[in-house]
Amino acid sequence: MSFQEKVFAVVKKTPRGQVLTYQQVAAKLGNVKLARAVGNALNKNRDSRMPCHRVIRSDRRVGGFNRGPARKIKLLKSEGVKIKNVKVL
């Protein structure tokens, strides 16, 4: 199982309305420092069935996304996650 597949699995588990941090995902994979690689994996895989918008930064900012925060924020809000500007609650 490749690194990205693991990331994929973890993110897929994320319940609707809940968000994970890259750090948290990385921790599940065994090492917190993998946070970067996690984001990288999502970026490269970009699977449509992968709720990558539920993955945020540890400082609670939305973090990276495709085409500005709007897209991700919108999706998150649709799932019941409230956002204050770029901050996730």
Partner DNA sequence: CATTTGACGCCAA
Partner DNA sequence: TTTGGCGCCAAAT
When the beta carbons of 33 and 82 are compared against DNA, the nearer one is: 33
Residues 51, 72: Cα–Cα separation, whole Å: 10
Find the binder of DNA among 9, 65, 79, 86 (CB under 7 A).
Answer: 65
Footprint (CB under 7 A) of DNA, residues 8-27: 21-23
Residues 24, 11: Cα–Cα separation, whole Å: 10
Residues 33, 13: Cα–Cα separation, whole Å: 21
> In the complex, which residues of this chain contact DNA (CB under 7 A)?
2-4, 21-23, 31, 33-44, 46, 52-53, 55, 57-59, 63-66
